[in-house]
Amino acid sequence: MAVNSVRQFVPPTGPTVAVYRLADGYFATDDRCTHGEAELSEGDIEGDEIVCPFHLGKFAIRTGEPTAAPCFAALRCHRVTLAEDGNLYLDWPE
């Protein structure tokens, strides 16, 4: 993944996940916007925020907190780790 990019990950169970790469590491949140039905993995990254492609609401990628209307509920965050084998691993409790 390039720096400042996002891609969708489909886990074996549960909702899809948006995986982000920022300059200082990898992050992951639920992919579904808490306002509408958008997939945030289709959005654009501005700084350390993801911009929803539907209504231009924003979330902080590191914390999942909403940072711009019309988004008011936080995203669930997931831990993602870059392993020595070069693969990314997602903590997935379900």
Partner 1 sequence: MSNHSTEAFEALKQRLPDWANRRPIAERYPDMDYGPLPVTPYICEEFFEQERAKIFKKMWLYVGRVERLPKAGDYFTQVIEAVRVNKNSTSPSFIICRDNNGEIRAFYNTCQHRGTTVCWNNHETWDTANRKYFTCRFHGWVYNTDGSLRSVPDEKLFFNLDKTTRGLKPVHCAVWKDFIFINVDPSPRQTLLEQIKPHAEQLKDFPFERIRRRGIWTATVNVNWKAAIDAFQEGYHVGTVHAATLPEAFCGSLNPYCRPTSARIFPQGNRSVTFMVSPDFTPPAVENWVRRRGASWYAAASGDSGSEFPGVNPDNDPFYAFDVHGVFPNLLVDPFIGGFYGHEFWPISVNKTRWIGSINFLAPQKPSDLIANEHGKTLLRDAFREDTVTLEATQVGLESGAIETAVLCDMEIAPRHLYNSVVALVNG
Q: Which residues bind partner 1 (CB under 8 A)?
A: 35-38, 42, 53-56, 70
Closest approach, Cβ 4 to partner 1, in A, equals: 17
Report DSSP letters for 23-57, one per residue: TTEEEEEESB-SSSS-BGGGSEEETTEEE-TTT--
> How many beta carbons lie within 10 A of that of residue 3, not counting itself?
10
Closest approach, Cβ 91 to partner 1, in A, equals: 29
Nearer to partner 1, 22 or 53 (CB): 53
Nearer to partner 1, 70 or 88 (CB): 70
Closest approach, Cβ 56 to partner 1, in A, equals: 8
**Which residues, including other chains, have CB under 8 Å from residue 84's CB and lie 6 or more apart?**
none
